[in-house]
Chain A
Amino acid sequence: MGNDPDSVRACPNTAREGVTFFVAGSYIVRAMMARRRPARKRSAKGTDEAVPGDARAGADERLLVEAAQSDPAKFDALYEQHFERVYAFVASRVRDRATAEDLTSEVFHKALANLPDYEWRGVPFAAWLMRIAVNCIVDQAKRAAREFPALDDPPEVAADPGLQASELRATENRSRLFRLVGELPEVQKQVVYERFVEQRSIREIARRLGKTPGAIKQLQLRAMQNLRAQMEGGHG
């Protein structure tokens, strides 16, 4: 086990999931491709340039990966691009924030350590990260099962490819929403973090931001409306 993110597939109990997930890689590719925003229409005739746009995005990503492979200090750029995606995926599979953070951390550390082994074969880097994530989640579930044998919570990873595809689409949507929070006007962003991450009450947030509770509720509403509009608008 250890360094090789694929090693979990050698375990009899998880081999099936690993393989299924690998097969489902095609779904990942499609989900990732579908997510990329179509390229802006450059000609007056309004030619749809979605496909060249995808190719360009793929080439950009390849450059980022190759840069990081020759200089690990450049892993930053990949982290920036994929953090929300990995976190969204992991968080949807585990019960609490602490575990989600531990696993996200593990995924990126493994990715960094195994980056020299990553080969560009047209499979998005994100798909490779997701496979590491699945393996980390399976490992963690097994560790938990050893710790609490009574806990009836088997790691049901990628049992069904159909579900996998919809889950990946959901992951993409969630990670996009996480990114959009960062683009909210500063005070709306603050309210979102205070309310949902810190889980503070409206009264506490009002006190901290020096506003009335009514104003905080309005900001919360605007933030949600903004996010919803952005999510809908972004589908192009």
Chain B
Amino acid sequence: MAKRSLAVQLDEVVQAMLVSLRPRPEEAPDLNLAPLMRVAQVLRELPRQEFRATLKSDLQRRATMNEGTAAASRAGAAAPARAAHYQRPGLTSITPYIIVRGGAQFLEFLKTAFKGVEQMRMPTPDGLIMHAEVAVGNGAIEVSDASDAYPAAPTTIHLYVDDANATFDSALQAGATSIYAPTDDHPSGDRWGAAKDQFGNHWYIATPKGWTPGPEGLRSVQPYLHLREAHKMIPFLEAAFGAEAMGVHKSPEGAVLHGTIRIGNATLEIDEAHGEFQPMPCHLHVYVPDTDAVYAQALRAGATSIEVPQDKPYGDRAAGVKDAWGNSWFIATYLGQ
């Protein structure tokens, strides 16, 4: 009995650790867990067996060829290592792609309100933002200025922060307006506030309270989709992306009160649209091991095509689909440089 519960508790912390970059082993409830968590944290960096083997045979080839210069070795070195890596460095499996009017101002807002760190900015010839990436906490947000082809699409983001009050205040100072100030009464049990920025995006700003195992241990940036018939989104994501529902709370009538869905190493949240929290179809950038396969699965699962898979000049193989709720999914596989 005690043994089983230790196995369950360990897995809860491991799960939180794998999804989040902020494990909380020191607050683990069982004293026996702390040393095991130290082991678990190291295992996160465990090298892939395939990489170890591939590099070995690559070195063997170099050694026996006996003619490769160091430069040639270096050029060849990266290829096998990269092959299995499908995520662009700096991005996770799910990144919200927010299209706004006033991209440059929005980037400033992310920096001032949420301590965002600009990682990349590609301007258009007329000074608009063609593409930008901002790291926020352990996640990222991609940004682009609206155009005729891609009109503005405000997005709802759930942000996990260290201090909900401080972040909420800095969001207001940066120009956001309060929907409600951080409160301890939110059903999640977290300290939770909500604000709307001047670009139309909604921000749920939350600090997990105490040690919360399971799906609450999440990445800093979570896209939050309010949907009509939200329960149908779960089988769609499972079929299209091999997603996994990690915790779904339903009303007695079967409406999704809250659901966390994992794709790869990141999660997004959904619930049934209600009250002022109505659907805001948005854009999501999803890195997968095989763009072509996921694109085909998504179409089979009921999505419609925006763009067929193709190699992009920036080094991704990418495709686009739209789901039945109007959200766009940019499917991508990082091919390396």
Contact = CB atoms under 8 A, between A and B. Distances in A.
A105 B81 CA distance: 8
Contacts of B38: 228
B167 interface: no
A221 B18 CA distance: 16
B43 A181 contact: yes
A201 B60 CA distance: 35
Given A3-B69, A98-B89, A221-B6, A199 B264 contact: yes
A196 B58 contact: no
Interface string A92-113: 1001111111101110111011
A14 to B, nearest CB: 19
B10 A102 contact: no
A2 B262 CA distance: 42
A24 B282 CA distance: 52
B63 interface: yes
B45 A95 contact: no
Contacts, number: 171
A16 B81 CA distance: 31
Interface string A204-236: 100000000010011011001101100100000
Contacts of A158: none
Given A113-B69, A196-B43, A228 B7 contact: no
Nearest to A176: B42
B265 interface: yes
Contact of B18 (A95, A96, A199, A225): A199
Interface residues of A, number: 60
A195 to B, nearest CB: 7
Contacts of B78: 102, 105-106
Contact of B10 (A80, A88, A108, A224): A224
A195 B64 CA distance: 36
Given A108-B59, A112-B73, A174 B81 contact: no
Nearest to B10: A221
A73 B58 contact: no
B48 A197 contact: yes
A224 B47 contact: no
B117 interface: yes
Interface in A113-160: 113-114, 148, 150-152
Interface string A9-43: 00000000000000000000000000000000000
A97 B51 CA distance: 11
B82 A224 contact: no
B10 A98 contact: no
B47 A151 contact: no
A2 B71 contact: yes
B59 A112 contact: yes
Contacts of A193: 46, 49
Given A75-B63, A148-B119, A218-B7, A98 B81 contact: yes
B258 interface: no
Instruction: Report the 4 A-B pairs with minimum CB-CB distance, sorted nearest first.
Output: A113-B70, A72-B63, A101-B81, A109-B73
17 contacts: A75-B60, A80-B56, A91-B45, A91-B47, A96-B90, A102-B77, A104-B81, A105-B78, A113-B73, A174-B45, A181-B43, A181-B46, A199-B264, A201-B15, A201-B246, A203-B244, A228-B38
Interface of B: 3-4, 6-8, 10-11, 14-15, 18, 35-36, 38-40, 42-49, 51-52, 55-56, 58-60, 62-64, 66, 68-71, 73-74, 76-78, 80-82, 85, 87, 89-90, 117-121, 244, 246, 262, 264-265
Given A76-B60, A202-B15, 7 more contacts: A95-B90, A104-B81, A148-B120, A181-B43, A199-B265, A220-B7, A227-B39
